[in-house]
Amino acid sequence: MTLLRLALPALLLALFLVPATALAQDEDGDGRAAGPLDCDDTDATIYLGAPEVCDDGIDQSCSGGDLLEDADEDGWNDVRCFDAVDCDATPEDPACDDENFDCDDSDAALNRDDADGDGFSTCEDDCDDEDATVDPVDDDGDGFDECSGGDCDDSSVDVSPSQDEVCGDALDNDCDGEADNIDADADGAISEECGGEDCDDDDASLNPNNPEAAATCNDTVDNDCDGVADNLDDDCFEEPEVVAGADLQDRYLGGTVLVVLDGSDTTDFNVADTLTYQWTIVVDGEATDGVVELSADETSPYGFLRFRAPASDTQDWNYIATLTVSDGNPATDDVSDAINVRFWRPSYVTQKGCSQSTPTGVPAALAMLLMLGATTLRRRR
């Protein structure tokens, strides 16, 4: 019993130190237990990293599939399928040179062909193996080549992605895909120096795509680069907003009544326009015996209306007052607004006739007072 107690710790320590793979089963006797190191423990020639036999349908190296001699079918073989020479032992052998094998047997576009005969294949970074003028060499010495550097003209040091565009030389100096296209303010419009329509290539707010508008029609600037500014520009032709004011009415007790026509709320978004005001008055209804006189100035939104009427039974006189405004631009129409003007006679006002210039009640009352006075004097006597 004491011996067993002493041996048990040693046994546990031995189990801890022995690798698990040593305890695992190795049926094919290749020294590798079934699992990640041996994907087929029934065949001693199959294990991770084993020499691959190409095109036999067997994955000897446990790489996930059989290795094909020309997997991408581009005519160039995988170096791993070459066994005519032991290249591991004699890497200097010419038969083992990389140029004899595909650089990427999973991509048919990458191979050792030199289709355009420029001395470079796609395995050697030729980005266009059908054009002999395109290769991975910096021919003009400007630090950029056609393939990896993006040089759109490798024959000129004036053309490369690092160059600034120059107007008038017909070259795409900065290799952005278009020649002579300077847009310094990045507003999408080419400068006039480069044949474009941007009249100020230092100000992004000035370009043909930015029309004159309410906010800019009074800034004396040609915002849309069409050669005209503000109220001379078609974009600024906008009709005024005409307001003739509120309806008016007044009592008529006789004589002459004066009312003011107020169109001062009329607005025009282009303050450079010169507005012209015209008031007109027409009778509304059958009360035609009233007389109106209009006084107005074309430079002012105000008008003055004088009204008088003959002695008659008419109780209401109604008129329509219309304000028409022109902004001075022939491209816009004149705009009008109208209000109602009413004069009315209260019913308690007595109408006068030609024989009623002196009230008849006054002489009778005076005669009565005289008679009373005479009677009083007789009694006193």
291 within domain boundaries: yes
Mark whether 207 and 266 lie in a shared domain: no
Q: What is the pLDDT of residue 8?
A: 53
Q: What does the pLDDT average to over 246-259?
A: 94
Q: Contacts by 190-194 with C-beta closer than 8 Å and gap 24+?
A: 191/167, 193/167, 193/168, 194/165, 194/167, 194/168
Mark whether 252 and 229 lie in a shared domain: no
264 within domain boundaries: yes
Mark whether 335 and 291 lie in a shared domain: yes
Which residue range(s) make up the domain with 217? 197-236
Number of domains observed in the structure of the chain:
2
Q: Can you give the pTM of this predicted structure?
A: 0.42
Q: What is the pLDDT of residue 228?
A: 79
40 within domain boundaries: no
Mark whether 223 and 281 lie in a shared domain: no
27 within domain boundaries: no
Closest CA to 214 of 269, 271, 274, 268: 269
Mark whether 231 and 252 lie in a shared domain: no
Mark whether 261 and 331 lie in a shared domain: yes
- pLDDT of residue 108 exceeding 90, the answer is yes
23 within domain boundaries: no
- pLDDT of residue 143 exceeding 50, the answer is yes
Mark whether 229 and 259 lie in a shared domain: no
351 within domain boundaries: no
Pair type for strands 335-344 and 248-251: parallel
User: Whole-angstrom Cα distance, residue 371 to residue 379?
Assistant: 13
- pLDDT of residue 28 exceeding 90, the answer is no
* Residue 79 pLDDT class (50, 70, 90 cuts): confident
User: Whole-angstrom Cα distance, residue 120 to residue 146?
Assistant: 13
Highest average pLDDT, of 51-55, 273-277, 278-282, 287-291, comes from 278-282
User: Whole-angstrom Cα distance, residue 191 to residue 195?
Assistant: 7
Domain harbouring 329, CATH code: 2.60.40.10
Of the three residues 180, 207, 236, the one that is the final residue of a domain is 236
141 within domain boundaries: no
Mark whether 230 and 291 lie in a shared domain: no
What are 198's strand-pairing partners? Answer: 191
Mark whether 264 and 220 lie in a shared domain: no
Q: What is the pLDDT of residue 370?
A: 52
Mark whether 231 and 288 lie in a shared domain: no
Residue 80 has which token pair? Answer: 């791993």
Closest CA to 154 of 127, 181, 116, 114: 127
User: Whole-angstrom Cα distance, residue 51 to residue 62?
Assistant: 10
Q: What is the pLDDT of residue 364?
A: 44
Q: What does the pLDDT average to over 92-96?
A: 92
Mark whether 283 and 338 lie in a shared domain: yes
Q: What is the pLDDT of residue 23?
A: 52
292 within domain boundaries: yes
Mark whether 300 and 229 lie in a shared domain: no
Q: What is the mean pLDDT of the chain?
A: 83
Residue 87 vs residues 54, 59, 283: alpha-carbon distances, Å: 16, 21, 116
Task: Find all residues with CB under 8 Å of 28, minimum gap 6, and list them.
Answer: 38, 40, 41, 42, 43, 44, 46
Of the three residues 215, 236, 257, the one that is the final residue of a domain is 236
Q: What is the pLDDT of residue 122?
A: 93
Of the candidate ranges 58-62, 76-80, 284-288, 305-309, the one whose mean pLDDT is the lowest = 284-288
Q: What does the pLDDT average to over 236-264?
A: 93
